[in-house]
Amino acid sequence: MVARHYIGLLILLIWQPCLSLRAEENDAPSSPLNLFARDAVPFLRTHCLTCHGEKEPEGGLSFAGYRKSANVQTDYETWEKVLQVLVERKMPPEDEPRPPEPQLQAMVTAIKSELAKFDCGGRQHPGRVTMRRLNRAEYNNTVRDLLGVDFKPADDFPSDDVGNGFDNIGDVLSMPPLLVEKYLTAAEVIVEAALADETDRIRILVHAAGDDMSEREAARKNLVEFATRAFRRPVRDEELGRLFRLIQAVREQGGTNDEAFRAALYAILASPHFLFRVETDAGEEHVDGIRKLNNFELASRLSYFLWSSMPDEELFQLARKKSLQEPDVLRRQVQRMLKDDKSHALTSNFAGQWLQLRSLVDITPDSDSFPMFDEELRTAMRRETEMFFEAIVLENRSILEFLTADFTFVNERLAQHYGMSGIEGAEFQRVKLPSRRRGVLTQASVLLLTSNPTRTSPVKRGKWILDNILGEPPPPPPEGVEELDADAVTLGTLRERMEQHRSNESCAVCHRKMDALGFGLENFDVVGAWRDRDGRFDIDPSGILPGGREFRDASQLMEILAEDKRDDFCRCLVKKMLTYALGRGLQSYDRCAVDVIVKQLAENEYRFSALIIGIVTSAPFTSSEDKIER
């Protein structure tokens, strides 16, 4: 392929002007010594770590990890409680040495200075998104929508790293040398395939030389339009100049006009402005280091959030008209985009990671204990949850139905597994659930993900709910705690055997939460089938949640979660989706935006569209900050 002959020119002319971009992302000044580091850390070391250290901390609260203010801001609620007990002189306890009053007041002031950063009535911090490359799914989808080439070149790329639960987080999307080589090879293959197909060729060669247009003018127009779509913004004069210098250099080395033009196309597809999502426009007005994204940047954020792909022509037109920033326009675009087939990407890439459906391929139950499990059933399990998520999206249902919905989707294979009759064939059908199943937590995909190969795991199921539904991830277990024996069921009920975890007070703090939630799902076996007995013992799915609320079974547990834990679930889902939408982990200053979105959800009957609209109209999504104060 001809591009290899001009690889040096390509890198010199296309990459060199962009090499400083990545460095600028990390060129942040070191933070000055703050009150917390000066006053709070010594106080913790002297008065708190004896009881609240790394090993078996009192009440499950450890201060060992707090060395800087960012940690305090992440655990806002915890530090509110710490502040309260200090002000009320309840801590340190009476049998411990009391700190001098000036030290105590300095500690209180340091905590207040950190918590005050959450003043949502003051200056808002939208944060800054790291310049990040397209992940594999985004690359494939972008190539598809840019050129119409029906193949997935990124499937041959190295796997994307995951951060904050998602594989589109800029801080972890590295650029190893192998990937650079893959990009260059893919660019050649993509261009050759696109130009070989007459339909795809027309998408690139829109303008042809003729009586009213010279060959150079046609080439210029074709390059401008292609580069504009590839870069997802208007191409700049200096960029176009580099492309024409590349064309001229290829010709001077004996290349044909066709080879020269192809080299320019390769260069575009190998450019950082195609491979990365770059937000460096300095043309918008900055106020205190904060600027609104320009319309093209906003179009890209919107399309990669909902479609995992580049903007379509309608988004480009709105960006050119500078009307995309208007809230009403954004709302209409959200409604349009969610109805588009490309919104399936939200299911595969967001739901697939939030609900951990991608991990199903790695889970295989014990074949002796569950001989009925096969690949067909595994596929059906995943598809059920994907179709359920899509129904919530497309029908604009309440997000609370993730917990309480009385419907699902099954084919004959999955219906038999669930004990349902009257369903035939491989096609999935919408069905009403029996009362013992409700929402996503009783679907086989989630139940299999949270089991061990030979037995259920109330701990895994409870932890999964805390992590992904309630947003209260428990800390790692203390060292030296033994795993539950695989044959625990033969030595007594699982509930009885797990009492050993709660006999250790350090374990009990978390297990009281996890175990109650997990035991509520015990009527479902490893592969999500219903059961009334576990070996020789009757199942007891009842429990008492922290706070004293009792439930008798899984369906009542779902009702309680949707009622008593409604705000926790909404906040958890908002945080996870905002993380995915921004491509960065949330920071303390994002708390205010999360509060607003949660409030908007409640005001709009918790409809899914309210979640999306709340995110795309939020300050973190529509703005960017030059420097973040720490």
What is the percent of the chain where pLDDT is above 70? Answer: 83
> In sequence order, which residues have a C-beta less than 8 Å from that of residue 203 and are 6 or more positions away?
147, 148, 194
Q: What is residue 267's three-state secondary structure? A: helix
Beta strand 286-287 with 276-277: parallel, antiparallel or unpaired? unpaired
Task: Please give the structure tokens belonging to residue 37.
Answer: 């580091």
Alpha carbon distance 599, 167 (integer Å): 28
User: Looking at residues 115-134, what average pLDDT do you find?
Assistant: 80
35: buried, middle or exposed (CB in 10 Å: 19+, 13-18, 0-12)? middle
User: Looking at residues 248-253, what average pLDDT do you find?
Assistant: 91
This prediction has a pTM of 0.84
Q: Three-class SS string for 62-89? A: CCCCCCCHHHHHHCHHHHHHHHHHHHCC
Residue reference for tokens 């000055």: 32
- What's the pLDDT score for residue 253? 92
More confident residue, 70 or 75: 75
Pick from 370-379, 458-467, 478-487, 546-555: least confident: 478-487
Q: Is the pLDDT of residue 27 over 50?
A: no
Pick from 29-33, 72-76, 372-376: least confident: 29-33
Q: Are 351 and 389 in contact (CB under 8 A)?
A: yes
Q: Please give the angle made by the CA atoms of 123, 126 and 131, to the nearest 5 degrees.
A: 145
Q: What is residue 410's three-state secondary structure? A: strand
User: Looking at residues 90-102, what average pLDDT do you find?
Assistant: 84
User: Looking at residues 221-242, what average pLDDT do you find?
Assistant: 92
Q: Is the pLDDT of residue 22 over 60?
A: no
- What's the pLDDT score for residue 604? 98
Q: Are 518 and 461 in contact (CB under 8 A)?
A: yes
- What's the pLDDT score for residue 29? 36
346 to 100, 171, 354: CA distances (angstroms): 55, 21, 11
Q: Is the pLDDT of residue 180 over 90?
A: yes
- What's the pLDDT score for residue 488? 46
Q: Is the pLDDT of residue 69 over 80?
A: no
User: Looking at residues 599-616, what average pLDDT do you find?
Assistant: 98
More confident residue, 300 or 66: 300
Q: Is the peptide bond before 92 cis (omega within 30 degrees of 0)?
A: yes
> In sequence order, which residues have a C-beta less than 8 Å from that of residue 268 and are 6 or more positions away?
223, 226, 227, 230, 231, 243, 274
Give the model's confidence band at 89: pLDDT under 50 very low, under 70 low, under 90 confident, else very high.
Answer: confident
Task: Please give the structure tokens belonging to residue 511.
Answer: 């297990």
User: Looking at residues 481-505, what average pLDDT do you find?
Assistant: 59
Alpha carbon distance 488, 481 (integer Å): 16
More confident residue, 103 or 498: 103
Report the chain's terminal Cα–Cα distance, integer Å.
Answer: 50
- What's the pLDDT score for residue 343? 97
User: Whole-number mean pLDDT of the chain?
Assistant: 87
Give the model's confidence band at 208: pLDDT under 50 very low, under 70 low, under 90 confident, else very high.
Answer: low
- What's the pLDDT score for residue 25? 52
Alpha carbon distance 237, 224 (integer Å): 10
- What's the pLDDT score for residue 125? 82
Q: Are 559 and 566 in contact (CB under 8 A)?
A: no
Alpha carbon distance 324, 316 (integer Å): 9
Q: Are 124 and 164 in contact (CB under 8 A)?
A: no
- What's the pLDDT score for residue 527? 98
532: buried, middle or exposed (CB in 10 Å: 19+, 13-18, 0-12)? exposed
- What's the pLDDT score for residue 456? 95
Alpha carbon distance 417, 370 (integer Å): 12
Total Cβ atoms within 10 A of residue 67 = 13
Pick from 167-181, 195-209, 393-407, 453-467: least confident: 195-209
User: Looking at residues 599-610, what average pLDDT do you find?
Assistant: 98
More confident residue, 53 or 281: 53
- What's the pLDDT score for residue 70? 57
Pick from 181-185, 285-289, 323-327, 406-410: least confident: 285-289
Beta strands in 349-449 (DSSP E): 407-410, 429-432
Give the model's confidence band at 407: pLDDT under 50 very low, under 70 low, under 90 confident, else very high.
Answer: very high
Residue reference for tokens 């401008």: 224
More confident residue, 331 or 88: 331
Give 175-242 as a DSSP string.
Answer: --HHHHHHHHHHHHHHHHHHHHSHHHHHHH-----BTTB-HHHHHHHHHHHHHHHHHTSPPPHHHHHH
More confident residue, 34 or 605: 605
Give the model's confidence band at 2: pLDDT under 50 very low, under 70 low, under 90 confident, else very high.
Answer: low
Pick from 261-270, 372-381, 503-512, 589-598: least confident: 503-512
User: Looking at residues 43-60, what average pLDDT do you find?
Assistant: 87
Give 46-59 as a DSSP string.
Answer: HHTTTTSSSSS-GG
Q: b vs e for 293-327, b when ≥16 Cβ sit within 10 Å of the residue's Cβ? A: bbbbbbbbbbbbbbbbbbbbeebbebbeeeebbee
277 to 68, 163, 228, 581, 583: CA distances (angstroms): 31, 17, 14, 13, 11
φ, ψ of residue 534 in degrees (nearest 5) = -120, 100
Give the model's confidence band at 28: pLDDT under 50 very low, under 70 low, under 90 confident, else very high.
Answer: very low
pLDDT in tens, 287-303: 778 889 999 999 999 99
Phi-psi region of 109 (alpha: psi -120 to 50; beta: other; left: phi over 0): alpha
Give the model's confidence band at 625: pLDDT under 50 very low, under 70 low, under 90 confident, else very high.
Answer: confident
211: buried, middle or exposed (CB in 10 Å: 19+, 13-18, 0-12)? exposed
User: Looking at residues 145-163, what average pLDDT do you find?
Assistant: 92
235 to 89, 238, 448, 521: CA distances (angstroms): 63, 9, 49, 56
What is the percent of the chain where pLDDT is above 90? Answer: 59
Task: Please give the structure tokens belonging to residue 486.
Answer: 């695989």
- What's the pLDDT score for residue 630? 40
Residue reference for tokens 């050649």: 188
Q: Is the pLDDT of residue 629 over 70?
A: no
